Amino acid sequence: MSASVEHQARLDFVLALRRRWADTVYPHLRQEFDVRGGDDSRPPSELSEAVHALPSFGWFAWLERGSQKMLWRAVEDAVAARPAPLAARPAGLDAAEADASRVRVDPALQLPDWYTEWDIHLQPGGVWSSRASAHVYELGAKLVMMGDNDDYSFHRLFVETALPKRNYRRIADLGCGFGKSTWPLKAAFPEAQVTGVDLAAPCLELAVERAAARRLAIAFRQADACATGLEGGAFDLVTSTMLIHELPREALVSLFREAARLLAPGGVLAFLDFQPTGDGFRDLGMVEHSARNNEPFMAPMMAMDLIQEAEATGLRQVRWSAFDERGAGELGEPAWPRRREWHFPWAVFHAEAPT
């Protein structure tokens, strides 16, 4: 993903701005809160008025949304300036691998309104609207992680630390996008049949190309994660990464029902997403991030009792576990380490199908 000097400079500037927002502006805002005797044991709804009155809050809020808009403009320009489109399918797979690594696009699929009426993450046009949008999302997905996921180590860490070591026969990755969460699954469990599911056909087409370049035989399927059309009771592992906070309540309830349907007896469910930390100041930031980053379903999701929703489908051993993206991965407990800088409260939602 080469870029001209000018475009690279713009990307570097936005990335540096986002880092300073996270490691300088946020800690300063937190210091103002602490100096004024803020009580972070209170719920976010009771803290918003006091936090909004802090001298640095306007800068913090504006930079969060403003730098995100700048990021997508810079990424769109960088992608548009590429001298030639990428090859349709990199060589390297033999006939059997090529047959296994494919995408099934459903031309009759109606994308739900809740999916198309928002520019999620503030990406203009969303990830589903065109071939170019998939490439924009691919590059932007690295930058929104503060440049710390260039080699997709975040997703590998999830696979390495949060999934039980088993001989999985079939794996379903729901909301797979352009495949960044699916490739580590196939690499870690090469004997498994891995299927990635997503609504966005352009992302899935790009996922096939990227999987082929990695010599990973993965099937990709355009479908709603809440109604995949996949065989029930056939999957030993069902995963998602950064999916459930992007679903409205009704769809999220349906997602748990679908995951329970897909799982084989004793099968494992592992969803990597966000949860409240119990630190009211930090949790207020996440609640308001939902609005500032055009993620309207994030705050409602974090207010839901997802353990209860999952248990209602018959799933067992349901729990949340904190996740530290800096290297430790899943922490095995629902408590997050105290951190100075802004960061997402990553957590893994675990469940198992009854045997």
**95-107 confidence digits (pLDDT tens):** 555 555 578 888 8
User: What is the average pLDDT across 260-274?
Assistant: 98
Asked if residue 2 has pLDDT above 70, the reply is: no
Band of the pLDDT at 152, cuts 50, 70, 90? confident
Mean pLDDT of 288-307: 96
d(CA 258, CA 269) in angstroms, rounded, equals: 11
- Amino acid present at 191: E
Predicted local distance difference test score (pLDDT) of residue 147: 57
Assess whether pLDDT exceeds 50 at residue 89.
no
Q: 196 CB contacts (<8 Å, ≥6 apart)?
A: 173, 176, 179, 181, 182, 204, 207, 218, 219, 220, 221
Cβ atoms within 10 Å, residue 228: 21
Q: What is the mean pLDDT of the chain?
A: 92
pLDDT grade for 86, boundaries at 50, 70 and 90 = very low
Across the beta sheet with 316-324, what order do the strands follow? 102-104, 219-222, 193-198, 170-174, 235-241, 263-274, 346-352, 316-324, 329-330
Query: What is the pLDDT averaged over residues 180-184?
Result: 96
Res 143: pLDDT: 78
Going by the DSSP 8-state scheme, the letter that residue 335 receives in this structure is -
Radius of gyration of the chain (CA): 20
Domain ranges in the chain are 96-131+146-352
Share of the chain above pLDDT 90, in %: 86
Amino acid identity for residue 54 in this structure = L
Half-sphere exposure of 183 (CA within 13 A, CB side): 22
Long-range contact pairs involving 49-54 (C-beta distance under 8 Å, separation at least 24): 51/281, 51/284, 54/29
Determine the pLDDT at residue 103: 80
Is the pLDDT at 345 greater than 70, yes or no?
yes
Which pLDDT does position 37 carry in this prediction? Answer: 96
Q: 236 versus 149: which is more confidently predicted?
A: 236
Q: How far is Cα 230 from Cα 197, in angstroms, rounded to an integer?
A: 10
pLDDT at 138 over 80: yes
Helical axes 201-213 vs 131-143, angle rounded to 10°: 70
Look at residue 164 and tell me whether its pLDDT is greater than 60: yes
- Continuous segment of H or E residues that includes residue 237: strand 235-241
Residue 23 has pLDDT above 70, yes or no: yes
Question: What pTM was estimated for this model as a whole?
Answer: 0.93
Q: What is the DSSP string of 139-197?
A: HHHHHTTTTTTTT-HHHHHHHHHHS-----SEEEEET-TTTTTTHHHHHHSTTSEEEEE
Residue 129 phi/psi, 5-degree rounding, is -80, -25
Nearest 5°: phi and psi at 288?
A: -80, -25
CATH 1.10.3720.10 fits 96-131+146-352, yes or no: no
Nearest-angstrom CA–CA distance, 249 and 261: 19
- Return the residue matching tokens 């309830």: 253
pLDDT at residue number 90:
45
pLDDT tens for 73-85 read: 999 999 998 865 5
- 290 CB neighbour count, 10 Å cutoff: 18
